[in-house]
Amino acid sequence: MKNKVLPLEISGVNVPAGKRKKVEIPIAQLFDTTKMSIPVEIVRGKESGPILFVSAAIHGDEINGVEVVKRLLASKRINSRMKGTLIAVPIVNSYGFNRNSRYLPDRRDLNRCFPGSVNGSLGSQIANTFMTEVVEKSTHGIDLHTGAIHRTNLPQIRAFLDDDETSRLAQAFGVPVLINSNIRDGSLRQSALDKGIPILLYEGGEALRYEEKVINTALYGILSVMEAIGMIRTKERKRRKRTKEVHTARSSAWIRAPYSGSLRVQSKLGSLVNKGEVLGVISNPYGSDKAEVTSTKTGIVIGMTLLPLVNKGDAMFHIAMFSDSEAVEERLEFFDEILEEQYEER
- Cα torsion 103, 104, 108, 112 to 10°: value is -80
Asked whether position 151 contacts Zn ion by CB under 5 A, the answer is no
The nearest distance, CB 117 to Zn ion, in angstroms, is: 22
The nearest distance, CB 241 to Zn ion, in angstroms, is: 30
Interaction with Zn ion in 3-62: which residues (CB under 5 A)?
59, 62
The residue count for the chain = 346
Distance from the first to the final alpha carbon of the chain: 34
Nearer to Zn ion, 145 or 158 (CB): 145
The CA-based angle 196-201-202, given to 5 degrees, is 155
Nearer to Zn ion, 65 or 115 (CB): 65
Stretch that binds Zn ion, among 79-87, 123-131, 137-145, 268-276 (CB under 5 A): 137-145
Stretch that binds Zn ion, among 116-124, 144-152, 167-175, 321-329 (CB under 5 A): 144-152
- CA–CA separation, 199 vs 229, rounded Å? 13
Which of 312, 251, 317 lies closest to 279 in space, CA to CA? 317
Which of 140, 149, 169, 148 lies closest to 157 in space, CA to CA? 169
Query: 12-17: long-range contacts (C-beta < 8 A, 24 or more apart)?
Result: 15/42, 15/44, 15/85, 16/44, 17/44, 17/45, 17/46, 17/47, 17/48
The nearest distance, CB 83 to Zn ion, in angstroms, is: 30
Interaction with Zn ion in 61-90: which residues (CB under 5 A)?
62
Nearer to Zn ion, 160 or 322 (CB): 160
The nearest distance, CB 262 to Zn ion, in angstroms, is: 27
Q: Which of 44, 83, 145, 331 binds Zn ion (CB under 5 A)?
A: 145
Q: Which residues does 329 contact at the CB level (< 8 Å), separation at least 6? A: 270, 271, 272, 300
Nearer to Zn ion, 150 or 290 (CB): 150
The nearest distance, CB 103 to Zn ion, in angstroms, is: 11
Nearer to Zn ion, 145 or 247 (CB): 145
The nearest distance, CB 16 to Zn ion, in angstroms, is: 34
- CA–CA separation, 164 vs 144, rounded Å? 21
Nearer to Zn ion, 146 or 295 (CB): 146
* Cα dihedral 270, 275, 278, 284 sign: positive
Nearer to Zn ion, 185 or 345 (CB): 185
Interaction with Zn ion in 230-259: which residues (CB under 5 A)?
none
Interaction with Zn ion in 301-330: which residues (CB under 5 A)?
none
Please count the residues of this chain forming the interface with Zn ion, following the rule CB under 5 A. 3
The nearest distance, CB 98 to Zn ion, in angstroms, is: 17
What is the greatest pairwise CA distance in the chain? 76
**Footprint on this chain of Zn ion (rule: CB under 5 A):** 59, 62, 145
